[in-house]
């Protein structure tokens, strides 16, 4: 009987770890960093299965883009002083480059899904 209880407890704990009800709220801005267009912060890190709510801001005087290369999200644009939210579930593990699709010289950032 103890073995069944122990196995049931282990199974329950394993199921609790599958899928995440956690929402990772992160903020990233198109900004001027050391006088150059960039994203701040340079890294967004989440876990696979997390719900992700990105507040995308823009502290510059020009409209900027936001695209996570190879992740399958539609590119977005953000106007100065008018943040937007991007919500999705981090379903693909890996390291992805965040780019401004409007300005190729914009320094990229990283989206890391563990």
Q: Where are the domains of the chain?
A: 20-113
Q: Look up tokens 């990233």; give the residue.
A: 28
Classify 91 as helix, strand or coil: coil
Q: What pLDDT is stored for residue 34 in this prediction?
A: 85
Quick check: 3 pLDDT over 70? no
Tokens at 55, concatenated: 């507040």
81-109 confidence digits (pLDDT tens): 999 999 999 999 999 999 999 998 889 99
8 Å CB contact between 65 and 95: no
- CATH class (in words) of the domain with range 20-113: mainly beta
Give the span between the Cα atoms of 3 and 99, in whole angstroms: 53
Roughly how many angstroms between the first and final C-alpha of the chain, as a whole number?
A: 38
pTM > 0.75? yes
Q: What pLDDT is stored for residue 17 in this prediction?
A: 46
């Amino acid at each position: 009987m103890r073995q069944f209880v122990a196995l049931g407890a282990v199974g329950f704990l394993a199921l609790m770890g599958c899928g995440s009800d956690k929402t990772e709220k992160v903020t990233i801005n198109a900004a001027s960093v050391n006088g150059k267009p960039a994203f701040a912060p340079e890294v967004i890190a989440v876990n696979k299965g997390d719900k992700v709510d990105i507040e995308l801001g823009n502290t510059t005087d020009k409209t900027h883009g936001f695209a996570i290369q190879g992740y399958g999200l539609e590119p977005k644009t953000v106007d100065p002083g008018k943040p937007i939210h991007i919500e999705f579930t981090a379903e693909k593990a890996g390291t992805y480059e965040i780019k401004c699709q409007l300005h190729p010289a914009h320094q990229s950032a990283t989206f890391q899904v563990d």
